[in-house]
Amino acid sequence: MAEGPVNGSGSTVDIERTFSLRKLYIKDFSFEAPNSPGFFFEQHQPEMNLNIRTAHSDLGNGSLEVVLHMTAQSVVGERTVFLIEIAQAGMFQISGFTKEEARTIIGVHCPNALYPYAREAISSMVQRGGYPPLVLQPMDFAALFAQASQDTAAAQASQG
Protein backbone atom coordinates (compact mmCIF):
# COMPACT_ATOMS: atom_id res chain seq x y z
CA MET A 1 0.00 0.00 0.00
CA ALA A 2 1.07 3.54 -0.69
CA GLU A 3 0.37 6.55 1.41
CA GLY A 4 -2.04 8.86 -0.28
CA PRO A 5 -3.42 12.30 0.39
CA VAL A 6 -3.96 13.64 3.86
CA ASN A 7 -7.55 13.38 5.05
CA GLY A 8 -9.41 16.01 7.10
CA SER A 9 -8.00 14.76 10.42
CA GLY A 10 -4.38 15.24 9.29
CA SER A 11 -3.56 11.54 8.86
CA THR A 12 -2.74 9.94 5.57
CA VAL A 13 -5.13 7.69 3.67
CA ASP A 14 -3.90 4.33 2.42
CA ILE A 15 -4.40 3.80 -1.31
CA GLU A 16 -4.62 0.27 -2.67
CA ARG A 17 -2.14 -0.18 -5.52
CA THR A 18 -3.24 -2.64 -8.15
CA PHE A 19 -1.48 -3.95 -11.23
CA SER A 20 -2.91 -7.09 -12.78
CA LEU A 21 -3.52 -8.71 -16.14
CA ARG A 22 -7.26 -9.29 -16.48
CA LYS A 23 -7.54 -10.62 -20.02
CA LEU A 24 -5.12 -11.66 -22.76
CA TYR A 25 -6.18 -11.74 -26.43
CA ILE A 26 -5.07 -11.25 -30.03
CA LYS A 27 -6.71 -8.32 -31.81
CA ASP A 28 -5.10 -8.94 -35.21
CA PHE A 29 -2.78 -11.55 -36.68
CA SER A 30 -1.64 -12.06 -40.26
CA PHE A 31 0.92 -14.15 -42.10
CA GLU A 32 1.97 -13.65 -45.71
CA ALA A 33 4.46 -15.66 -47.75
CA PRO A 34 4.06 -14.03 -51.18
CA ASN A 35 6.99 -15.81 -52.84
CA SER A 36 6.38 -19.35 -51.65
CA PRO A 37 6.87 -22.08 -52.63
CA GLY A 38 9.83 -20.62 -54.55
CA PHE A 39 11.89 -19.90 -51.43
CA PHE A 40 11.58 -23.50 -50.28
CA PHE A 41 13.89 -24.55 -53.14
CA GLU A 42 16.45 -21.76 -52.86
CA GLN A 43 19.50 -21.48 -50.65
CA HIS A 44 19.42 -18.02 -49.13
CA GLN A 45 20.38 -16.12 -46.04
CA PRO A 46 17.38 -13.89 -45.31
CA GLU A 47 17.52 -10.68 -43.33
CA MET A 48 15.04 -10.33 -40.47
CA ASN A 49 13.43 -6.99 -39.66
CA LEU A 50 11.45 -6.63 -36.43
CA ASN A 51 9.38 -3.57 -35.54
CA ILE A 52 7.65 -3.16 -32.19
CA ARG A 53 5.36 -0.47 -30.86
CA THR A 54 2.74 -0.22 -28.15
CA ALA A 55 -0.54 1.60 -27.81
CA HIS A 56 -2.97 1.88 -24.95
CA SER A 57 -6.47 3.11 -24.27
CA ASP A 58 -8.31 3.86 -21.06
CA LEU A 59 -11.32 1.60 -20.50
CA GLY A 60 -12.40 3.40 -17.29
CA ASN A 61 -12.29 2.42 -13.61
CA GLY A 62 -8.53 1.84 -13.71
CA SER A 63 -8.78 -0.65 -16.60
CA LEU A 64 -6.60 -0.17 -19.64
CA GLU A 65 -6.12 -1.99 -22.89
CA VAL A 66 -2.47 -2.24 -23.91
CA VAL A 67 -1.63 -3.52 -27.39
CA LEU A 68 1.80 -4.74 -28.45
CA HIS A 69 2.09 -4.38 -32.23
CA MET A 70 4.84 -6.48 -33.78
CA THR A 71 5.86 -6.85 -37.41
CA ALA A 72 8.44 -9.47 -38.40
CA GLN A 73 9.59 -9.46 -42.01
CA SER A 74 12.07 -11.84 -43.56
CA VAL A 75 13.58 -10.55 -46.82
CA VAL A 76 16.14 -11.60 -49.38
CA GLY A 77 17.16 -8.52 -51.33
CA GLU A 78 13.91 -6.89 -52.42
CA ARG A 79 11.84 -10.06 -52.10
CA THR A 80 9.76 -10.87 -49.05
CA VAL A 81 10.15 -14.39 -47.68
CA PHE A 82 7.39 -13.89 -45.10
CA LEU A 83 5.67 -11.08 -43.27
CA ILE A 84 3.91 -11.48 -39.93
CA GLU A 85 1.90 -8.82 -38.13
CA ILE A 86 0.38 -9.34 -34.71
CA ALA A 87 -1.48 -7.09 -32.30
CA GLN A 88 -1.21 -8.93 -28.98
CA ALA A 89 -3.44 -7.24 -26.43
CA GLY A 90 -4.18 -7.35 -22.77
CA MET A 91 -6.66 -5.75 -20.44
CA PHE A 92 -4.88 -4.55 -17.31
CA GLN A 93 -6.07 -3.16 -13.99
CA ILE A 94 -3.77 -0.31 -12.96
CA SER A 95 -4.78 1.89 -10.04
CA GLY A 96 -3.30 3.67 -7.04
CA PHE A 97 -0.12 4.76 -8.82
CA THR A 98 1.12 8.24 -9.62
CA LYS A 99 0.83 9.36 -13.24
CA GLU A 100 4.55 8.78 -13.82
CA GLU A 101 4.45 5.32 -12.19
CA ALA A 102 1.44 4.35 -14.32
CA ARG A 103 3.23 5.60 -17.44
CA THR A 104 6.18 3.34 -16.64
CA ILE A 105 3.92 0.36 -15.92
CA ILE A 106 2.15 0.85 -19.27
CA GLY A 107 5.42 1.33 -21.15
CA VAL A 108 7.50 -1.40 -19.50
CA HIS A 109 5.57 -3.94 -17.45
CA CYS A 110 2.57 -4.38 -19.74
CA PRO A 111 4.69 -5.07 -22.86
CA ASN A 112 6.84 -7.43 -20.75
CA ALA A 113 3.67 -9.39 -19.93
CA LEU A 114 2.44 -9.44 -23.56
CA TYR A 115 5.71 -10.14 -25.39
CA PRO A 116 6.10 -13.86 -24.57
CA TYR A 117 2.64 -14.58 -26.00
CA ALA A 118 3.31 -12.60 -29.20
CA ARG A 119 6.73 -14.21 -29.52
CA GLU A 120 5.29 -17.72 -29.26
CA ALA A 121 2.49 -16.93 -31.74
CA ILE A 122 5.00 -15.59 -34.28
CA SER A 123 7.33 -18.57 -33.88
CA SER A 124 4.47 -21.03 -34.24
CA MET A 125 3.09 -19.28 -37.35
CA VAL A 126 6.52 -19.24 -39.05
CA GLN A 127 6.78 -23.01 -38.60
CA ARG A 128 3.21 -23.53 -39.81
CA GLY A 129 4.17 -21.52 -42.87
CA GLY A 130 6.82 -24.13 -43.68
CA TYR A 131 9.89 -22.19 -42.56
CA PRO A 132 12.54 -23.06 -39.96
CA PRO A 133 11.79 -21.97 -36.39
CA LEU A 134 12.17 -18.27 -35.68
CA VAL A 135 13.63 -17.58 -32.26
CA LEU A 136 12.96 -14.00 -31.20
CA GLN A 137 15.28 -12.86 -28.46
CA PRO A 138 14.01 -11.40 -25.16
CA MET A 139 13.38 -7.65 -25.25
CA ASP A 140 14.47 -5.06 -22.70
CA PHE A 141 11.34 -2.93 -22.58
CA ALA A 142 12.79 -0.82 -19.77
CA ALA A 143 15.66 0.27 -22.05
CA LEU A 144 13.28 0.84 -24.99
CA PHE A 145 10.98 2.93 -22.78
CA ALA A 146 13.90 4.98 -21.43
CA GLN A 147 15.15 5.64 -24.97
CA ALA A 148 11.68 6.63 -26.19
CA SER A 149 11.29 8.98 -23.20
CA GLN A 150 14.68 10.60 -23.96
CA ASP A 151 13.77 10.96 -27.65
CA THR A 152 10.46 12.61 -26.74
CA ALA A 153 12.15 15.00 -24.29
CA ALA A 154 14.79 15.92 -26.89
CA ALA A 155 12.15 16.53 -29.55
CA GLN A 156 10.15 18.76 -27.18
CA ALA A 157 13.28 20.69 -26.19
CA SER A 158 14.21 21.33 -29.83
CA GLN A 159 10.72 22.70 -30.54
CA GLY A 160 11.06 25.32 -27.87
Q: What is the pLDDT of residue 133?
A: 85
Does some domain include residue 76?
yes
- The model's pLDDT over 69-119, given as tens digits with 9 standing for 90+, comes to 999 999 999 999 999 999 999 999 999 999 999 999 999 999 999 999 999
Local structure of 152: helix, strand or coil: helix
Q: What is the pLDDT of residue 10?
A: 53
Q: What is the pLDDT of residue 1?
A: 45
d(CA 81, CA 141): 28
pTM for this prediction: 0.84
CATH number for the domain including 64?
3.10.420.10
pLDDT exceeds cutoff 60 at 12:
no
pLDDT exceeds cutoff 60 at 124:
yes
State which residues form the domain around 50: 24-132
What does the DSSP 8-state code read for residue 45? -
Q: What is the share, in percent, of the chain residues with pLDDT greater than 90?
A: 72
* Helix or strand (DSSP H, E) at 89: strand 79-95
* Among 20-24, 35-39, 156-160, the range of highest mean pLDDT: 20-24
Sign of CA dihedral 102, 108, 109, 113: positive
Does some domain include residue 89?
yes
> What is the mean pLDDT of the segment spanning 40-55?
91
Query: Count of domains in the chain?
Result: 1
Q: Which among 149, 147, 122 is positioned nearest to 136, based on CA atoms?
A: 122
Does some domain include residue 74?
yes
Does some domain include residue 14?
no
d(CA 72, CA 52): 9
d(CA 156, CA 135): 37
Residue 70 CA neighbour count, 13 Å, CB half: 24
Does some domain include residue 109?
yes
> What is the mean pLDDT of the segment spanning 7-17?
62
pLDDT exceeds cutoff 50 at 48:
yes
Does some domain include residue 158?
no
Q: What is the pLDDT of residue 160?
A: 67
Residue 154 CA neighbour count, 13 Å, CB half: 6
Does some domain include residue 145?
no
Q: Which among 28, 54, 57 is positioned nearest to 110, based on CA atoms?
A: 54
What does the DSSP 8-state code read for residue 109? I
Residue 124 CA neighbour count, 13 Å, CB half: 9
pLDDT exceeds cutoff 70 at 53:
yes
> What is the mean pLDDT of the segment spanning 14-27?
92
Alpha-carbon distance values, 140 to 21, 109, 122 (Å) = 19, 10, 18
Average pLDDT over the chain, rounded to an integer: 90
> What is the mean pLDDT of the segment spanning 119-148?
94
Does some domain include residue 112?
yes
